[in-house]
């Protein structure tokens, strides 16, 4: 099953004793929606486990069910409005969704860059083996621990940039650490030679972790999977959830503009706020 979710209301993918998680919501829904007799019977496995606040556009999971693909899509999409299932296909026994060919993440980084011309060059250093001790969370070891990174690209968009990272697999916090490193280079606090040494494993860096809200698991790719059944579109509850999200964003833009004008001294307390055009694009 290909699926996505707005991660802002979840404490990550994995079940926890306390906190609402994507896995916990789905396991509860598998039983209540009549998809399987129990959560354990579904043998649920996910391709990528995301952190608190991280969203997904096209994650993938495998489960066991006697229902048809169309029925599965309908029932899974009825579990929670901020979780959406967009495609399905049958897989052979023994298939492991964790063995995906690659994962693709995109990070939406807001704000102006101090040295925009330097971002692509810094990003290109990550292509190839990367010692993840500087670019992951809680990774011990005296010897380098390389992971292959296939591509890191930076593209400017209105109000910021999109950083895309492609790799067969990732360690905990890896994309957010890569973004943190690129920000440090942009701010002049990290030189390209030091970044290269950290990538090669010759130096260990303590890097900031980029905020989770900008990160989206964009795609999970499989060499042998072709999606055969597709989502017919949002149900009433999903459409309502999407509309409320857009309305909430609209409200936040106007509130931010009003407060920003007052704090910066650009407007009196009685003036009407007018958000900058780039905020409304």
List 51, 109, 131, 186, catalytic entry: 51
The 10s digit of each residue's pLDDT in 94-146 is 999 999 999 999 999 999 999 999 999 999 999 999 999 999 998 888 899 99
Separation between Cα atoms, residue 82 and residue 226, nearest integer Å = 25
Percent with pLDDT over 90 in the chain: 80
Q: Please give the Cα distance from 259 to 162 (Å, whole number).
A: 27
Rounded Cα distance between 158 and 146, Å, is 35
Is pLDDT above 80 for 254? yes
Residue with tokens 């229902």, as numbered in its chain = 67
Of 35-44, 142-151, 179-188, the one with minimum mean pLDDT is: 35-44
The yes-or-no answer on residue 272 being catalytic is no
Q: Which residues pair with 229 in a beta bridge?
A: 88
What is the full DSSP assignment across 74-134? HHHTTS-TTEEEEEE----TT--GGG-SEEEEEEEEES--SSGGGHHHHHHTTSEEEETTS
Smallest CA-to-CA distance from 131 within 200, 39, 228, 52 is with 200
The residue among 77, 81, 5, 107 whose CA lies nearest residue 46 is 5
- Note the pLDDT of residue 262: 67
Q: How far apart are CA 91 and CA 257, in angstroms?
A: 50
pLDDT of residue 271: 55
Distances (CA, A) of 25 to 16, 19, 66, 76, 192: 11, 10, 21, 11, 43
Domains and CATH numbers, the chain: 2-99 (3.30.70.580), 102-217 (3.30.70.660), 243-280 (no CATH)
């Amino acid at each position: 099953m290909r699926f996505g979710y707005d991660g802002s209301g979840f404490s990550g993918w994995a079940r926890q004793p306390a906190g609402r998680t994507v896995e916990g919501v789905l396991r509860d829904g598998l039983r209540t929606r009549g998809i399987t007799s129990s959560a354990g019977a579904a043998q649920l496995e996910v391709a990528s486990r995301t952190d608190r606040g991280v969203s997904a556009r096209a994650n993938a999971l495998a489960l066991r069910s006697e229902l048809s693909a169309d029925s599965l899509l309908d029932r899974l999409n009825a579990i929670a409005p901020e979780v959406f299932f967009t495609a399905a296909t049958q897989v052979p026994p023994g298939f492991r969704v964790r063995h995906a060919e690659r994962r693709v993440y995109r990070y939406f980084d807001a704000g102006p860059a101090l040295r925009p011309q330097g971002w692509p060059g810094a990003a290109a250093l990550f292509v190839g083996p990367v010692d993840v001790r500087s670019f992951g969370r809680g990774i011990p070891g005296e010897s380098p621990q390389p992971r292959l990174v296939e591509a890191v690209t930076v593209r400017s968009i209105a109000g910021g940039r999109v950083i895309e990272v492609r790799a067969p697999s990732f360690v905990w916090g890896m994309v957010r650490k890569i973004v943190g490193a690129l920000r440090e280079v942009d701010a002049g606090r990290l030189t390209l030679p030091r970044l290269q040494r950290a990538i090669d494993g010759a130096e260990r860096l303590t890097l900031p972790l980029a905020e989770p809200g900008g990160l989206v698991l964009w795609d999970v790719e499989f060499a042998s999977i072709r999606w055969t059944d597709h989502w017919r579109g949002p149900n009433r509850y999903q459409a309502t959830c999407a509309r409320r999200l857009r309305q909430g964003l609209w409200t936040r833009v106007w509130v931010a503009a009003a407060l920003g004008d007052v704090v910066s001294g650009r407007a009196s307390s009685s003036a009407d706020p007018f958000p900058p055009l780039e905020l409304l694009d």
